[in-house]
Amino acid sequence: MIILKRISILWLGSIVLGSILIHLGSLNISELVDAKNIFSLPGGAHWLGTDSMGRDLFFRILKGSGTSLLVAASSILISTILALVYGSVSGWFGGRVDWVLMVILDVWMSLPSSVLAIVIAMLLVRERDSLILVSVVIGLTHWGRLARIVRSEVEALRNREFVVATKIIGASNLQIMRSHLVPHLLAVVETFVIYQFPNYILAESFLSFVGLGVQPPNTSWGILIQDGWRSLQVFPHVVLAPALFLSITILSLKLLFLNAEKLSQ
Amino acid sequence: MTSAKIGKLAFQILITTVAVMGIVIGLLNCLPDFATYDSDTSLSEQSELARPSFWSQNRIFWINCLRQDFGASRVNTNYSVGEIIRRDSSVSISLFLLSMTISIIGGGFLGLFSAVRMGTRTEALISYAGLFISTLPTFLIVPLLIYFFSIRWNLLPSALWEGAKAMVLPTIALSVRPIFFLTRIFRDQLIKTSRSEFVLTAYAKGLRPASIWMVHILPNSLRIFVTASGNLFGQIVSSLFLVELLFALPGLGSLFVKSLMQRDYPLFLGVVLVFTLTLQIGHRLAEIINSFISREDKIDQEFVR
């Protein structure tokens, strides 16, 4: 178990490091076109072969992993902030406010997230290359579950003695939220982020794969898989290489935070 | 299940559907060329300047719904929206039902099996397989399946919906992830139940393990399984349109994406309505089945008292 965790840390670290180096490099290796070697097989000068334009697949994947991880991280940040605000308002004020907010949330969550993501992405992202917009779309479609957890947590905290005591002293709602609720909620947020981060990576690559996420001159795992999908019949390595990177990253994220008893969480 | 409760569920479904359609119509209003179908005014009259307000768009949509008239598709003008949806829904429905049944049966069986055989090598193998599958998104499962089964080994067709053979790959692609999702949830719940005190009592009484599993542990773990299967509705529907696109199946899912890409708004709204209703009914169905199961629970509790 320990050795698996060490391997996953090593993998994640080298991916992050590699993508940072690629982004920092003044020479843009991932965009270099080797026109004589279109679709060359793995091995030789190009470690993982080249894609349809003769660009080195290994460097493309490294660059794409940076984008994918960045978008996933910023979208999880967006949905955490959204869920914290929404959930604590709903749980803190209770009563009619709570009812209305929860009905709205129910309606929002009754649409499947990928359908919702496609509709919003159609409106926001299409043919505009902006990583922030992609993150907003993913953040907007995935915050519901955390909001529900935060709400029930705040509702449970609201009537605890120390919160009531603070209220009696005369602290304002905002002060109580900042000094008492937020520290308690951090643990909840932490578990959510740890367990949901792989899903955010998958959401990003799904959107990019459909063509509504990161836009082509830029690259991410979804874009690379979409690119290889067209030449699957003849050159499967163009799909398999980014797919392998995506799967191993998600596997190592899951292994890293795995309890020995909860094997398949 | 009283009629009042059924009425309440129907009301919930109705309200949620109206709200969802409101959100979708509101979102689509951001697009410059959006227009709802209206039998009284022509499309040219609904230009940017004379666009009806959000409320009247919603009103017109629901009146058309009651008339069962969604107008003609804006791209295939020879066909009405109802005709196109009816034509394409058969593929989606059969694909959906197939993968739903397979995932429920497979997940239930694997979950029960790995709970009964807890600690053995087979159980560990199933858990690791589940972990591995959960790292593969649907849009990766599809290329892998196509590459191995239809390109490498040339066993099954890679596209279209002709004959029983063509159904195999899309069904596998849709149900692999749900199977292991259900397996995990069902197994955890079964193990949790099997550690509770009444099971220990049953063992102490000297009942056979098989009958303890069938009479005590299984029925008491069924609620979670049913709820998870209800959640599966949404999961399968959202991978449905990706699978349909990638396998080039003429279904509602590919219709959904195509109609939005082609800005065919009457068709798109019709498809969204069908999806929303299906999902709502799926969620409530799990609730209804659970209410039957929990009624038996209540009888048990009264008996104990």
**pLDDT tens string B246-291:** 888 888 888 888 887 787 888 888 888 888 888 888 777 877 787 7
Which parts of chain A sit beneath pLDDT 50? 260-261, 263-265
Whether B23 sits inside 8 A of A107 (CB atoms) is yes
Tell me, what's the pLDDT at A77? 93
Residue A127, both tokens: 């043919």
- Judged against a pLDDT cut of 70, whether residue B25 lies above it is answered with yes
Closest partner CB to B135 (pick from A115, A122, A254): A254
Enumerate the residues of chain A whose CB falls inside 8 A of the CB of residue B16: 106-107, 110
What pLDDT does B103 receive? 92
Query: Does B140 contact A233 at a Cβ distance shorter than 8 Å?
Result: no
User: What pLDDT shows up at residue A75?
Assistant: 93
Can you give the pTM of this predicted structure?
Answer: 0.81
How confident is the model over B65-99, as pLDDT tens digits?
887 777 777 777 777 788 888 888 888 888 888 99
* pLDDT at residue B102, as a whole number: 93
More confident residue, B284 or B122: B122
Closest chain A CA to residue B256: A115
Check residue A74 and give its pLDDT: 93
Q: Does A123 touch chain B (CB under 8 A)?
A: yes
Give the per-residue pLDDT at A72: 92
Q: What is the pLDDT of residue A265?
A: 37
Which of B27, B131, B184 has the CB atom closest to A120's CB atom?
Answer: B27
pLDDT value for A27: 63
At residue A260, the pLDDT reads 44
- Using a pLDDT cut of 70, give the percent of chain B over it: 89
What average pLDDT does the segment B129-144 reach? 84
DSSP A126: T
What is the mean predicted confidence (pLDDT) over B37-62? Answer: 66
Quick check: B45 pLDDT over 60? no
Contact assignment for A243 to B180 by CB distance below 8 Å: no
Coil, helix or strand at residue B251: coil
Q: What is the mean pLDDT of chain B?
A: 81
Contact A119 B16 (CB under 8 A): no
8 Å CB contact between B272 and B21 = yes
Contacts of A223 (CB under 8 A, 6+ apart): A64, A208, A209, A213, A214, A216
| Residue A241 to chain B, least CA–CA distance (Å) | 11
pLDDT of residue A261: 44
Q: Is the pLDDT of residue B34 over 50?
A: yes
Q: Looking at B40-44, B128-132, B253-257, which range is the least confident one?
A: B40-44
Instruction: Report how far apart, in Å, the C-alpha atoms of A200 and of each of A126, A143, A250, A251, B239 are.
Output: 20, 11, 10, 14, 16
> Scanning every residue of chain B, which has its alpha carbon at the shortest distance from the alpha carbon of A118?
B257
Set of chain A residues whose Cβ sits within 8 Å of the Cβ of B234: 112
Task: Determine, for residues A225 and B180 on separate chains, whether the beta-carbon distance falls below 8 Å.
Answer: no
User: What is the distance between the terminal CA atoms of chain A, rounded to a whole angstrom?
Assistant: 15
Q: Kindly state whether A113 is in contact with chain B, defined as any CB-CB distance less than 8 angstroms.
A: yes
Between vectors from CA B146 to CA B141 and to CA B149, what angle results, nearest 5°? 110
How many separate helices (H) and strands (E) can be counted in chain B?
11, 0
Per-residue pLDDT, A263: 42
Whether B13 shows a pLDDT value over 80: the answer reads: yes
Give pLDDT, residue B237.
82
Best of A102, A106, A110 to mutate (most B CBs within 10 Å, chain B):
A110
User: Would an 8 Å CB–CB cutoff place A173 in contact with chain B?
Assistant: no
- Which ipTM value was assigned to this complex? 0.74
CB-nearest to B131 from A113, A243, A263 is A263
Alpha carbon B296 to chain centroid, angstroms: 27
Interatomic CA distance for residues A77 and A70, integer angstroms: 11
Closest by Cβ to A263, choosing from B24, B127, B140? B127
